[in-house]
Amino acid sequence: MTQPRTLLADPRIARLITLIRATLYPAPGMGRIALALGLGALCHALFAAGVLAMIVAMFFGLSESLGTVPWPMAALANGLLIVQFPLAHSLLLTGPGGRLLSRLIPGPHGATLATTTYAIIASAQLLALFALWTPSGIVWWRAEGAVFWAVTAAYATSWLILLKASFDAGAEVQSGALGWMSLLARIRPVFPDMPTQGLFRLIRQPIYVAFALTLWTVPVWTPDQLALAVSFTAYCLLAPRLKERRFARRYGDRFDQYRAEVPYALPRLPMDRHDAQ
């Protein structure tokens, strides 16, 4: 009997359960309900398609894709595909970007749906990047035998770590569900508090670190994969600085103390933790 109570006491799970319960008995309003369900279906379909496209494309080192731009123009097209994701991903998290998100859905529900709209845009960006990439046709290295299975296991583990980090940060926000489910229930979206549980106890940026790990644990290496890995790893190291500025303004001394106690991207060794204590 104690285990369910312990799970319900976990705010990460309690928020999800509260949100799901609220959507089971939505307030009347066919137009609002249809909008919420329609955007929810679109959001999660695009989310699944974008993540699946990324997993598969990187597994083959971007050597397989649908892009057909002739070279050398393909280099420019691929470069634009790389740049468009981090640029929009970061700009939409700024103050002006957030206000734009609130206005993208006409009518009175744009602000409530902002997280869903953000997830739709990000998922479409990922899908475009990995589906429309034009492969160079050059393969430098392809893992074989036991090395292939070891690298594949590392690749799968990286994705599992990313999944865990996303859950620790707030699954309803990371997946885009918070917006459409709040609209369906006709409640104000309740955002997670500053994440400090799970992997956030070890480092401050587990999502970005896990995302970077997926870039470097692939079993096929090409110039395409190297360009992507270098570009997005730089983004994963630099972009969280902007996030931490927002957290510093929002949480003040709480975040300052957290930042002083928890390292940025590399967890402390047991010896380091002992010295810190």
pLDDT of residue 204: 94
pLDDT of residue 268: 83
Mean pLDDT of 36-64: 96
Residues in the chain: 277
pLDDT digits (tens, 9 = 90+) for 109-152: 999 999 999 999 999 999 999 999 999 999 999 999 999 999 99
The domain segmentation of the chain, as residue ranges, is 2-268
The proportion of the chain whose per-residue pLDDT surpasses 70, expressed as a percent, equals 94
Please report which confidence band the pLDDT of residue 4 belongs to, taking 50, 70 and 90 as the band edges.
low
Mean pLDDT of 41-46: 97
Q: Is the peptide bond before 223 cis (omega within 30 degrees of 0)?
A: no
Residues 6+ apart with CB under 8 A from 262: 196, 200, 201, 202, 203, 204
What's the predicted TM-score (pTM) here?
Answer: 0.89
Q: State the DSSP code for 200.
A: G
Other C-beta atoms closer than 10 Å to the C-beta of 211 total 21
pLDDT of residue 121: 95
